[in-house]
Structure 1
Amino acid sequence: MNGWFHGWRAAVRIARRDAWRSKGRSFLVLAMIALPIIGVSAANVTLRTSELSVAEKADRTMGAADARLSDAGYGGVPIYQAPNGQDTMPVKSYEDQPYPDGDADTAKAVPAGARVLKDTSGTAKVRTEHGSLHVNVRELKATDPMAHGMVTLLDGRFPQKDDEVAVTGQFLKESGLSAGSRLTVRNMDRTYLITGAYELPGDLAANEVNALPGALLTPLDQALEAQGMSGTGQNTTYLVDVPGPGGFTWNMVEQANTKGVKVESRAALLNPPPRSEVKLYQHPDWVDYDSSGEANTAMLASLATIVGLAMLEICLLAGPAFAVGARRSRRQLGLVGANGGDRRHIRSIVLAGGLVIGAAAAVVGTVLGVALTVALRPLLEDWLGKRFGGIDLRPLELAGIALLAVLTGLLAAIVPAVTASRQTVLASLTGRRGVRRSNRILPVVGLVAVLLGAAIALYGSVVTDQFILVAGGSALAELGVVALTPALVGLFGRVSRWLPLSPRLALRDAVRNRGRTAPAVAAVLAAVAGTVAVATYQVSSEAEHRAGYEARMPSGAVSALLTQGDGRDASALRDAVRRDLPVDLTADLGRLTVGRAGCEMYSEAKGCGYVEVVTPKVNECPLWVTDADGNSASDHMTPAERRKLGKDWRCTAQAGSIGESGLVVGDASLLKVLRIDDPKAEQALKEGKVVSFHRPMVDQKTGKLSVRLVPDRGEANEAAAAEKEPPGKVVALPAYQAPDSVESYDVGGIVPAAAVRQAGMTMAPLGAYHSTDALPSSRQRQKLDQDLDRLGADVDLYVEEGFTGEKSIVLLALTVFAGLITIGAAGIATGLAQADAEADLKTLAAVGAPPRVRRSLSGFQCGVVALMGVVLGSLAGLLPGIGLRLTERRQSEKWYSEMLDQGGMADAPYTPVVIPWQTLAALLVLVPLGAALLAAVVTRSRGALARREAG
């Protein structure tokens, strides 16, 4: 035991001195091991810091109070609740009856002697420098000690008078106002002085206004009520501070529950009662939907996979570095053998090198990871839109990450240690490497693994619905490609004969020294494969969501329609839109009316009717037909019959959603705004025909569209209550049926003004559709909102911005990670190649090679490694991405088939497989090129000449 200790002590001392003597090589290895440790430790500290503790969450929701009381929303009936204050249910079952009317009296649930702070929220529209803006209004005395932690003051002060407000920093940024400005609220004559800016720690992007209790929402509600308008939607909760050390106990919570009040109690959150004492959990109707256990298992599995891949890449890169270091120290190792040291001592020295550098990397990586978290914390908080808690350092977790670095250093040094120990003393002292044949078994094993993994992934994606088979097969195939890498590197070398001098030398050097080239290529391969797999999956998913997006209008078009009134404001509405937005073309819309003039929308006044489309019996979907007892006809059909009808045009056609009938009054300009290029439709409108975009509305035999003119809405409602057909005359209009391929958005049909007059109907202005030259900006929208406020009409304003895909931070991070790993791996391989081939470079200089050859050779060495890794990684990464998409396609088709069997209606699933060409182009072109240029720039063009060493 004592000899073992002294042997390792000497080995560590020799390894430490050797590492210090070869600083460049040691720094390369240390950097490769420390870089992932920096990332993992930074991610650990960031995750722990961003995850708020229970106490920190309580501070943000209830400040320094002991509890927050609010109406549970069940009409004041007794309830059961969970300790978290969110999950609730009434004590009595109300399945067959409605909840009682009214609200719970929250104030009665406040314990005697407790101090109370009201927290009221609502919405309002305020004036800005650019127009009008919807904001949340919060009436809370923010200076009260109980509110500490809920809001954070950024500048100025909180309001102290009823005519003062504070606003969030985001509101100042959007509105163009500043501290000291006067804030005007719509529908109110009074103004408020902005005294300061604050932020909500949990929502940095909130547009919110803070006022004293009763200073803004209550007078605004009174003003709105006087004008006959809807209120601000006030919602009041109570912050409660209970005297005594116990706080708001669980018994107090249950007492408040008897009054229909739910409670978020700090005491119950910090020290929740046992589940056996929570009546909600004991109720037979309660279902716990918590799936955190499965989520934690999936997260741990994903974390283990990421850590395993990171260790594999570090070992692949650091292993050749230790091998080169062992070769550079072969004379020293030979002297150890010549002085009586055996193979065990040589292995200990090389392993000690891994231990020393791994320990140094652990310390450096952990310290830099924590520092990186502190430095990037403000940027991460702004990006996430919320503030983190206090810096949360978990010593055991950080120690485990540091131990991972040490373990990785040891693992990377195992193969070089065994190789160095097998060399003879004579070979070590003379510097001869000997002749070593390439391994012929490893490529065969790799090829078998690739074929087997691809077969498993294909089986999992085409035959079964198991994601695990796809992932497992893809991982096996990727490992097979790693095993094939040395042989593939040799194949790459066959193209060197057609290359110029520098790339030919670089490629031949990479092939000749596969021991350091193949691991670097494999590391790049692993990083790029993961990126390509995720990119394939996410780009395909985005294409699916883009295809499933249902636009209300063509991209950039604006819909401005009146939702109330008789249409007298339509002209002013159209002018406001044309004045404030970049409008190109306008199409006026009207709605069909019946009865006396001046009837408002949906009015039940005497003599005010409406128009409805009469669908021919032959065009009705058989799945929706019911008998006299109300039974659906689909209940008596076989799955095959339902499946057939599920693809019938009578059942799949989508009706228009504008107005009650889906018909609007318009002309050919509406076709242009909707980008419908159909000369026959334009001609039909000129001839006074209705243009139908909904096939079931038109009788295919007569070519006419029938509408019922209902003279009185009140009588029609009475007929509907008695399950009778509404009264009214049916009029048949000549119609043109547009092709089913035409996209009409929400318009079911266009009725020309001539057809309205001929049918004896009347029309009222509804609004207009507008096409634009460019999407309206935020300032233009605010200006339009201000003009609409002045108009005073109820308007449905919609701007079609088209499909907007979510920015994937995961894909961005993986792409950057792959780029860094690729450049780092190629750079390290280049540095090792230069260290290993220094004698060859000196020979080139001695025979008269120009200085630029050294620089270009270094750049091509780095670029060759990067290019080989990126090419192989791109091919390997496509397999899991495509496999997962094919598995999802099978699942979607299975769900769709089951739905058709049951008579359900939906569009056929679209699950495309899209190749991420942009990501592949960036990886295949930019990364190798960047790695080559970087290596060429940092390499010295001249090296020192040295005389030949004596043999």
Structure 2
Amino acid sequence: MSSWRPVLRLARRDARRHLVRTLLAALLIALPVAALAGFVSVSNPGTPTRDRVLATIPEGAQAVVTATAIPRGGAPFQQIPEGAPGPWMDDFETVPTSTEEIAALLAPGVELSEFWHSPPLAASPDLGLEPGEQQSATAGAERLSGTELERLAMVELREAEPAAFQLLAPKAVAGSLPTTPDEVLISQALADRLGVNPGDVLSFTAPPDSGVRSSDGNAAAAMQDSMRGYRISGISEDTSYTAWAPSGWLSTLVAEKPEGVQGHWLVLGDAPVTWEQAKTLNELQAFVVSRHVLQNYPNSDELYPVPLNANAYLEGTVGLVLVLVVGGMLVLFLVTPALAISAEQSRRTLGLAAAAGAKPRDLRRIILAQGLVIGLLGGVIGAVLGLAAALGFGTWLGSIEAESGIQDQRYGFDIAIANFPWWTLVAGVPIAVILGLIAALGPARTAARMSPVDALRDRRPTQSTRRRPLSLISGLSLLAASLLLGTVTLLTPVPEYPSAADAVQFFSPRTPPPGSGPLSMLVGFAVLAAAGGIALTIHALLPRVGRFGARSRPVWRLALRDTADHPSRTVPAVLGVVFSLLAASYFLVLGASSHADTRVTGATLDWQGTFLVTPQVPISPEFDRALAAGVLEELAEGMPEVTGSHSFEAVARDSSVMLEALPPVGRECPAGEIVHASSARELGAPLRCVNQLSGAGFQGGIRIGSPFSIWFEPLLIDSETLLATRIPDAADAAKVLDAAGVLVGDASLIDGDGMVRIAIGPFSEGGASLVLPEREVQLPALLVRGVGVGFIISPDTAHKLGVDQTDFVGLLAETSEPISLRILHSLWQHDVGELAMIQTPDSGDPLGASADPADQAMRWGPTVLLALVAIAAAAISVLLSATQGRRDATTAYAIGADRGVMTRLGLAKAMAILAIGVPVGMGAGIALGTYQVAWNRRLEASGAWLDTVIAWGTQAWIVVAITAFGLLAALLLTRPPRHLTRRSLD
């Protein structure tokens, strides 16, 4: 250790003496560490933390128990201490466990106090009900339809027994808490919306049961067709539309119809709920969030085993290894020039040390110590930047969620700090130190071989050219190996998914098929071989670029000669630009192609300049139409382009017949398989069927209306409404509707004669089809995408086929000219009392899949982050290369070169680095991104990936930004100071 002390002292002195170079090199190491910490934190907020879950247990309660409506007799509800590990499906005929059964499994003397959550309810002070009065919602529907829009809101009502109510209800900032079942406490947001105060009467209306279930199971069925009046006792400080009342209305209705309705209790008393008691309650299909369990967390062997998806684990491991290896290579290529420059700038110091008796290992240690210092500094800076990025980005996303009214927020400062992956910092700093040492190995070996005489005379050692052919051969061999491995992975058959029954039981959707792990590893090796081949090939060929400047202008000739004569600093700088741009271009291709894949495999909204107003929860046809018309009128006040509206309707569930589009006879997919996206996209394409677990299947779905308003295709619209959407080929589609035809989004449904089979029959409660076909007809069809659903028919044709009941879906705004997306997306911020949904078209920009800023940030965060890293890395690489040029500039200035010549020479050197690194990096990134898309297309796990989207415009902007910032950095550092008369770097 004593031999290292003077070495470390010299390293610290060198770091202070060349502070700019040290900070730049440290920043290069810091960028990937910060990117890793920030990206992991934001992309994976993590499971709820103990503190967040503990906050959900009211003070004075020991635990919260939830009884699901999952049938008993099977496996127990395998919870984690934080609660339910994921969503579950309640059975609508199962009655959850009772209060008595739960109490029997807990400690004697505990008290269970029950509480309930309602589905969305319509609230208004103008319905004429007295406090405590209850009647049928059907009888009050006419009054509800005549209510003014600003006196309506959709509300969640929370009821509780007296003991639970005292703990769960928020503090009243005006008035007091309710004391009887006829009183209610409402939020400040609801009071402001409705213009009510304590003492006023407020009525709630439960909508009809639509068949769609909320997180509280079948509560909508228990409450449907019921109204109740309350006296407002107080107002709480709350920004959501929420109300609290003692048990009376909801509790009574659930008691009358308990099937499928979850139960909720607070556990009160002094006795805690242990983990063993929680697991016993799991046998009743109930789970517990216990204060005692969270504060005394069970050992891992006491928890339920977590099933391991070996294929998903392998895929994730391969991806992580790829990221770490490629990221490590990027750091090494960027940090090496700093240490190479340090070795060159310290030649005289090293020569003096050698002349004074220092051994080669001592000279090697001096450079290694510099790598240690730079790595440690970079790791610390990266940790700080990563934490700041994660907290800042998480806080920003949290503010977006708050503005959107999301209740279960996944982001925010407190959530970010609680879920921050501290392991990234613990691992990042040592990794940064190791990278710093590895990056210093080459320059350290060069320093150890330095001749003391040459060093004292400050003369560069003669560069050996013997290894250049070997490097070139090795580089080309690695590139050839990469091409061979890539070809093998794209030609070798991919293992198939197991049979439908086994697949559903043991695998999750969109996971790789079992046995595909080895091929995925070959993909990783192909990428690594390509990266190594690029590095070695550039290392071998870059010293030859000096030949290309023989007949060019003096500035360019000198710049190219400098690039060739100083490979120790120019090769790493070029590689830094190459690999940083490679990563950004690669993820840009991957992200843009992923966006294109979502449009191919699902329904899209390609309306042009219009929007749809849909009731959040249907109440009655008259009310729903009046509500949509009122909201549309309110929204259109600032948009003179809106000139009218068109109605969207759907087949009602209580219609005597339903309609379903069927594939041509003989072109059906087997059970457990679905149509491949390629067959659904083009007419006449061969029929391909894929396992239902694959992500390559076409699943059009329904993109319009709320989950409660349209639950089954087809959509019923006429030709004028279709023309108002301005979707592509709207005119041809309107003609088909007028001719009693149908529009479908799945090309495989259309036969060779341009016809589609339509099954007609009553609603089916189960099975693969939602229709019990009584008869079939064939109708002319046209393939249309972009409407938001996959099956459209005109109302007249639907009625002729036997449809006798329809549901109102919403009103489409008719516009005189297309409204800009910016204005349309701003409609989301309009407060309509949560009464309606405002649906706007998808962005046509391949980088703008959603108007939601949070979704955009998460979708394009990695690409933007890597682009910023690429810009910073390119600029810093050029700066590091330019620092060594200061010495040459001093010499040039001493022999008469003016400042303008020196500035142009510095810029020319930077341009030489960028001119080589930018096209190679962009080309390699696009090539590897294209290969990754091709592999994803073969694997068919995450999507169909039929289109490879390069996004040339964005690629060009990244190139322009990298070039501009690189030249700006060179200009700032290569511009000679006013007094350049001595070689201060010595």
After TM superposition, the score normalised by the length of structure 2 is 0.67
Equivalent position of 2:452 in the other structure: 425
Identify which range, 670-679 or 539-548, moves more after superposition.
Answer: 670-679
Structure 1: any 5+ residue segments left out of the alignment? 90-97, 199-206, 282-287, 593-600, 605-609, 627-642, 715-722, 790-795, 897-907
In the TM superposition, residue 856 of structure 1 has moved relative to its aligned partner by 4.3
1:801 paired residue among 838, 841, 847: 841
- For 2:415, what is the secondary structure of its paired residue? coil
- For 1:388, what is the secondary structure of its paired residue? helix
1:249 paired residue among 235, 253, 274: 274
Counterpart CA distance in 2 for 1:372 and 1:405 is 18
Identify which range, 764-773 or 463-472, moves more after superposition.
Answer: 764-773
Opposite residue 960 of structure 2, the aligned amino acid is: V
Counterpart CA distance in 2 for 1:16 and 1:698 is 75
Counterpart CA distance in 2 for 1:768 and 1:828 is 57
Counterpart CA distance in 1 for 2:752 and 2:470 is 73
1:210-249 correspondence to structure 2 within 5 Å = 211-214=244-247, 218=248, 236-244=263-271, 247-249=272-274
- List per-residue Cα deviations over 1:150-171 (Å, max 9, x = no partner): 9999x96997346674659xx6
Opposite residue 890 of structure 2, the aligned amino acid is: K
2:481 paired residue among 443, 452, 473: 452
Equivalent position of 1:607 in the other structure: none
Identify which range, 932-941 or 922-931, moves more after superposition.
Answer: 932-941
Cα 1:181/1:411, change in 2 over 3 Å: farther
Cα 1:942/1:142, change in 2 over 3 Å: farther
Identify which range, 565-574 or 454-463, moves more after superposition.
Answer: 565-574
1:520 paired residue among 543, 550, 573: 573
Cα 1:821/1:179, change in 2 over 3 Å: farther
Q: Over alpha carbons, which structure has the higher Rg?
A: 1
Identify which range, 769-778 or 878-887, moves more after superposition.
Answer: 769-778
Equivalent position of 1:410 in the other structure: 437
Contact 1:863 1:929 in 2 (8 A): no
Equivalent position of 1:842 in the other structure: 890
- List per-residue Cα deviations over 1:713-757 (Å, max 9, x = no partner): 99xxxxxxxx9969xxx9x9xx9946557988666544779x999
1:382-401 correspondence to structure 2 within 5 Å = 382=399, 384-386=410-412, 387-388=414-415, 401=428
Cα 1:301/1:113, change in 2 over 3 Å: same
Cα 1:579/1:494, change in 2 over 3 Å: farther
In the TM superposition, residue 57 of structure 1 has moved relative to its aligned partner by 3.3
Counterpart CA distance in 2 for 1:697 and 1:818 is 43
| 1:109 maps onto 2:137 in alignment | no
Cα 1:922/1:428, change in 2 over 3 Å: same
Contact 2:30 2:382 in 1 (8 A): yes
1:684-723 correspondence to structure 2 within 5 Å = 690-691=740-741
In the TM superposition, residue 913 of structure 1 has moved relative to its aligned partner by 1.5
Number of equivalent positions:
833
- List per-residue Cα deviations over 1:92-139 (Å, max 9, x = no partner): xxxxxx997544322552344224454432233457996755444445
Cα 1:852/1:352, change in 2 over 3 Å: same
- List per-residue Cα deviations over 1:880-904 (Å, max 9, x = no partner): 3222222232344xx99xxxxxxxx
Cα 1:40/1:190, change in 2 over 3 Å: same
Opposite residue 268 of structure 2, the aligned amino acid is: D
Counterpart CA distance in 2 for 1:937 and 1:15 is 27
1:329 paired residue among 346, 362, 368: 346
| 1:830 maps onto 2:868 in alignment | no
Cα 1:249/1:762, change in 2 over 3 Å: closer
- List per-residue Cα deviations over 1:788-814 (Å, max 9, x = no partner): 98xxxxxx9884633744425364344
- List per-residue Cα deviations over 1:143-198 (Å, max 9, x = no partner): 98996xx9999x96997346674659xx6999799999999665457557543137
- For 1:423, what is the secondary structure of its paired residue? coil
2:919 paired residue among 859, 871, 880: 871
- List per-residue Cα deviations over 1:656-683 (Å, max 9, x = no partner): 9999996969566655657686889988
In the TM superposition, residue 484 of structure 1 has moved relative to its aligned partner by 1.2
Counterpart CA distance in 1 for 2:460 and 2:307 is 62
Percentage of identical aligned residues: 20
In the TM superposition, residue 451 of structure 1 has moved relative to its aligned partner by 1.4
Equivalent position of 1:793 in the other structure: none
| 1:880 maps onto 2:928 in alignment | yes
After TM superposition, the score normalised by the length of structure 1 is 0.69
In the TM superposition, residue 240 of structure 1 has moved relative to its aligned partner by 1.0
Opposite residue 462 of structure 2, the aligned amino acid is: V
Equivalent position of 1:462 in the other structure: 491
In the TM superposition, residue 69 of structure 1 has moved relative to its aligned partner by 1.8
Cα 1:467/1:119, change in 2 over 3 Å: same
- For 2:76, what is the secondary structure of its paired residue? strand
Counterpart CA distance in 1 for 2:101 and 2:61 is 18
Contact 2:338 2:880 in 1 (8 A): no
1:82 paired residue among 78, 83, 89: 78
Contact 2:322 2:524 in 1 (8 A): no
Contact 2:579 2:921 in 1 (8 A): yes
Counterpart CA distance in 1 for 2:524 and 2:586 is 11
Equivalent position of 2:121 in the other structure: 124
| 1:291 maps onto 2:313 in alignment | no
Counterpart CA distance in 1 for 2:93 and 2:61 is 31
| 1:66 maps onto 2:62 in alignment | yes
Counterpart CA distance in 2 for 1:910 and 1:584 is 40
Cα 1:705/1:889, change in 2 over 3 Å: closer
Cα 1:752/1:483, change in 2 over 3 Å: same
Opposite residue 106 of structure 1, the aligned amino acid is: T
Equivalent position of 1:922 in the other structure: 957
In the TM superposition, residue 352 of structure 1 has moved relative to its aligned partner by 3.1
Cα 1:920/1:740, change in 2 over 3 Å: closer
Cα 1:212/1:870, change in 2 over 3 Å: farther
- For 2:237, what is the secondary structure of its paired residue? strand
Equivalent position of 1:717 in the other structure: none
Cα 1:20/1:118, change in 2 over 3 Å: same
In the TM superposition, residue 84 of structure 1 has moved relative to its aligned partner by 2.7
Identify which range, 435-444 or 291-300, moves more after superposition.
Answer: 291-300
- For 2:584, what is the secondary structure of its paired residue? helix
2:472 paired residue among 443, 450, 465: 443
In the TM superposition, residue 513 of structure 1 has moved relative to its aligned partner by 1.4
Cα 1:920/1:336, change in 2 over 3 Å: same
Counterpart CA distance in 1 for 2:276 and 2:880 is 70
Equivalent position of 1:944 in the other structure: 979
Counterpart CA distance in 1 for 2:920 and 2:742 is 55
In the TM superposition, residue 514 of structure 1 has moved relative to its aligned partner by 1.7
Counterpart CA distance in 1 for 2:193 and 2:112 is 34
Cα 1:142/1:837, change in 2 over 3 Å: farther
Counterpart CA distance in 2 for 1:413 and 1:760 is 80
- List per-residue Cα deviations over 1:679-733 (Å, max 9, x = no partner): 89988999xx6455589999999x999999x9xx99xxxxxxxx9969xxx9x9x
Structure 2: any 5+ residue segments left out of the alignment? 125-147, 206-228, 401-409, 495-518, 637-641, 671-683, 690-697, 705-709, 764-771, 844-848
1:815 paired residue among 861, 864, 867: 864
Counterpart CA distance in 2 for 1:26 and 1:700 is 70
Counterpart CA distance in 2 for 1:780 and 1:24 is 49
In the TM superposition, residue 299 of structure 1 has moved relative to its aligned partner by 5.2
- For 2:576, what is the secondary structure of its paired residue? helix
Contact 1:37 1:401 in 2 (8 A): yes
